[in-house]
Structure 1
Amino acid sequence: MTYTQKEDVLAARSGEKDAFIRLMRDMERPLYRMARSMLRSDDECDDAVQETMLKAFRNIHTLREPNYFQTWIFRILINECHNIARKGARVVVTDEWSNLPARTDEYERIDVQQAVYQLPEPQRLVIAMHYFQDMPIQQIADVLELSAEAVKTRLHRARKTLMDWLSDEPGRGTRYETR
């Protein structure tokens, strides 16, 4: 967290609306990208982000430690995404791979995307946070209320599963279903 962001969190906590607006401008894209990794439609993502910002505004005074602002707001977002998913939407990972530097051709990247769609939600979440949001392991652990070891285990299992599915070895790379 930058010093300016910490100052804005403190100011927003004490009721300064402009400071809160600055915080939300900084967080809007990361929040949307995270929502997009969990929900299937743009409308659902917009709803999740909007509801997250509203809840953050109403409850920022309860944030005890300004250094944990990002962890706090991502936890709110994840809860909102789960609420939306429970209301009938199914949870899938979407086209976040376009933000990553491509080392493969388009067809291989599509295979990777399809494989990521098939990961269980706990693994998709840690992949999205670690690779799409560049969150360190400990921050992911804080957001998901897990130990750092549990996060590392989920990342390891997700990478192993993806490697198995996408391997060039005969009989591999075809175990996942296309939705």
Structure 2
Amino acid sequence: MEIEKLARKAIKGDDDSFLQLIQLFKIDLYKTAMSFLRNDQEAIEAVQEVTYRAYKGIRTVKESFYFKTWLIRIMINYCNDQLKKKKIVLLDDELLKSHGVSENHNKLEIKDAMLSLDERSREILTLKYFHDLKIKDIADSMQCPEGTVKTWLNKALKELREKLEEKGENLNV
């Protein structure tokens, strides 16, 4: 696969390969930033900052196959840091729809429910439902067993459902 080849070169210090990878994934980075930050300028700034952070830390990537996951994880961490500063947690409409929550539901209640979830839960939900990563890929990127990721994912979904049911919402997952 060409991406893996580019990632291997980038890890070894090839700047051109790194730039090609960033070009390939810049839309994914932007979409991730927008789903968290909900602001075009902040999302663009996030892509720039994450590109810089990735460039500085490229040599820490252990497996070239997981370059994209590593990059997205940097973005998620950056966005979570930004949201902590603002004390705001936003939920993307795609995630809502994937769980059968229609646009008619009170999004403020859903955002409140997400606010109660811990960072790890939000991260796992983002990787699973925004980036359609498999449990195995999430486990590898988080350096933990697949069973642990499944447990965390189920716990996050259960907590989200419970919070919404408390407010009279019904989330069928």
User: Scaled by the length of structure 1, what TM-score is found?
Assistant: 0.71
Percent identity over the alignment? 30
87, 92, 95: which one pairs with 2:89?
A: 92
47, 50, 75: which one pairs with 1:49?
A: 47
- In the alignment, structure 1 segments of 5+ residues that lack a partner are none
Higher normalized helix content (fraction of residues):
2
Relative to structure 1, the CA distance from residue 21 to residue 162 in structure 2 (aligned partners, 3 Å threshold; closer, same or farther) is same
Does the 8 A contact of 2:113 with 2:160 survive in 1? yes
2:168 aligned partner, one-letter code: T
- Counterpart in the other structure of 2:153: 155
Pairwise CA distance, 1:62:
4.0
1, 5, 10: which one pairs with 1:7?
A: 5
CA distance in structure 2 between the aligned counterparts of 1:99 and 1:164, rounded to whole angstroms: 15
CA RMSD of superposed structures (Å) = 3.3
Relative to structure 1, the CA distance from residue 17 to residue 99 in structure 2 (aligned partners, 3 Å threshold; closer, same or farther) is farther
Pairwise CA distance, 1:26:
2.0
- Counterpart in the other structure of 1:174: 168
Alignment of 1:136-151 (within 5 A): 136-151=134-149
CA distance in structure 2 between the aligned counterparts of 1:79 and 1:101, rounded to whole angstroms: 23
Does the 8 A contact of 1:129 with 1:135 survive in 2? yes
Does the 8 A contact of 2:109 with 2:167 survive in 1? no
- Aligned residue for 2:104, secondary structure, equals helix
- Counterpart in the other structure of 2:26: 28
1:37-94 deviation line (CA, Å, top 9, x unaligned): 44454433333321111122233244343122123223322332344345x2224123
Pairwise CA distance, 1:173:
3.6
Range 117-126 or range 106-115, more displaced? 106-115
User: Scaled by the length of structure 2, what TM-score is found?
Assistant: 0.72
- Aligned residue for 2:76, secondary structure, equals helix
Pairwise CA distance, 1:131:
0.8
68, 71, 76: which one pairs with 1:78?
A: 76
1:109-134 deviation line (CA, Å, top 9, x unaligned): 84885465344133222111101110
- Aligned residue for 2:86, secondary structure, equals coil
Pairwise CA distance, 1:4:
0.8
1:77 aligned partner, one-letter code: M
Number of residues of Structure 1 aligned to a counterpart in Structure 2: 168
- In the alignment, structure 2 segments of 5+ residues that lack a partner are none
Pairwise CA distance, 1:155:
1.6
Does the 8 A contact of 1:34 with 1:129 survive in 2? no
